[in-house]
Amino acid sequence: MSAIDKLNALAKVKEQFEEDLKSQFATVIEELLTEHGARYVLFRGETPYFNDGDPCTHWSGSHLEYSDECYSHMHNFDWYTPTELEEVQEYSWKDPRTEVVKEQYQDLYDAVSHDIVDDMLELLHTTNFIALCGFDDDGKFRYEHQNYTDHD
| Tens-place pLDDT, residues 112-142 | 998 899 899 988 988 888 999 999 999 999 9
CB-count exposure of residue 132 (10 Å: 0-12, 13-18, 19+): buried
The whole-angstrom separation of Cα 29 and Cα 44 is 15
Q: Is the pLDDT of residue 68 over 70?
A: no
Structure confidence at residue 93 (pLDDT): 62
The model's pTM: 0.82
Task: With cut-offs at 50, 70 and 90, classify the pLDDT of residue 63.
Answer: confident
Number of Cβ within a 10 Å radius of residue 121: 24
Task: With cut-offs at 50, 70 and 90, classify the pLDDT of residue 89.
Answer: low
Q: Which residue has the higher pLDDT, 6 or 83?
A: 6
As a whole number, mean pLDDT of residues 29-41 equals 93
| Average pLDDT of the chain, as a whole number | 85
Task: With cut-offs at 50, 70 and 90, classify the pLDDT of residue 90.
Answer: low
Q: Is the pLDDT of residue 20 over 70?
A: yes
Structure confidence at residue 91 (pLDDT): 64
- Measured in whole angstroms, how far is the alpha carbon of residue 23 from the centre of its chain? 14
Structure confidence at residue 151 (pLDDT): 38
Query: Are the C-beta atoms of residues 66 and 88 closer than 8 Å to each other?
Result: yes
